[in-house]
Amino acid sequence: MNTAKKLSEQLLQSAGITINGTQPWDIQIHNEDVYERVLREGTLGLGESYMEGWWDCQQLDAFFFRVIRADLESELNRNRTAILKLILKNVWAKMVNLQTKKRTHTLSEKHYDLGNKLFQSMLDVRMNYTCGYWKNAQNLSEAQLAKVDLVCQKLMLQPGMSLLDIGCGFGAFAKYAAEKYGVKVTGITLSREQYQFAIKNCEGLPIEIRLQDYRDVHEKFDRIASIGMFEAVGHLNFRTYMQMIHRCLSDDGLFVLHTMGANKTSVRGDGWLAKHIFPDGMSPSIKQIGKSSEGLLVMEDWHNFGADYDKTLMAWHKNFNEHWNELKQDYDQCFFRMWNYYLLSCAGGFRAREMQLWQIVFSKKGLIGGYQAPR
């Protein structure tokens, strides 16, 4: 048995996973070269080898839950021969701003512009592409409705207020806030597909949808919401982002930041996700959010419901697979494996509590008398 395979077996066994075993979370190997590839390339090699059919697993979400919970990536990094390459990547990420205005269009083009048909098949009827709130929900639709209403409650919206929706997506939140709370909304996005969809989706309401970078917004707003967009900002731009919030938020205003979060501070995202799903994306840590907002904003509330993303992703996975016969006319088998890997690996990550989902409420100067957070 070669060294790479022996090490892989030992690592996986420590997580309760057997190579070619009978449990649904066990992996089935089709190409023996996978062991050296994963040791050499890490998560990028693991994901790309799956896309290419080198291995399979009946329940990828359960596999990743065990791998992540056992912290096998740390063990892998200690044993991998390409550790120098990893270090050099970290140095590069610290020095180079991957989220410049020019490059921010890359994420929109490679992910959000994949086609509205894909997202309509996968998401809820309102087209929310962020984590739902499952506290009292029985299905995806109820969870997404509860999420957008929770954000509205946290913002303490009142009729006639002006609201900036940064990264407005398909317009789901903007439409709900305008219809149910009577506010005037400005939504910004860099995705042309989302932009066109959101304009039609919000037609007839006091909503303006713009194809605009957050750095180019200069008006004042009573309220600001950022739902699932901060992950695309990049650590070198976190401070610039918070300065923009401070500049555009009224003195007595509120800002809700809804973002995925990392347990540990990093300067780059997962290799496979960053290449194939969210180019140049990364989840911020508590430290990074705190440092970037210090002296600009007052944190009023910090709410973690990361476990709800597991349920949301599994619901998206179910919808995606149920509609695959219609979607496969536009997407190939490699995309099918890639998209399932994306949804299920992330579900496993949130289930293992390695990934978080935070809703953070900020004010500009601190609310007199304090802030009562809805749950």
Contact at 8 Å (CB) between 188 and 164? Answer: yes
User: 346 catalytic, yes or no?
Assistant: yes
User: CB neighbours (10 Å) of residue 22?
Assistant: 7
d(CA 29, CA 289): 41
d(CA 348, CA 368): 41
Comparing C-alpha atoms, which of 109, 108, 259 is closest to residue 188? 108
Comparing C-alpha atoms, which of 252, 265, 273, 242 is closest to residue 360? 242
* Joined tokens for residue 262: 């990392």
* Joined tokens for residue 243: 């300065």
Alpha carbon distances (Å) from 351 to 29, 66, 159, 314, 319: 25, 10, 38, 11, 19
Comparing C-alpha atoms, which of 181, 199, 180, 179 is closest to residue 189? 199
In sequence order, what are the beta bridge partners of 260? Answer: 357
d(CA 103, CA 238): 16
d(CA 128, CA 176): 11
Given 152, 168, 248, 346, the catalytic residue: 346
d(CA 77, CA 82): 8
Catalytic residues: 346
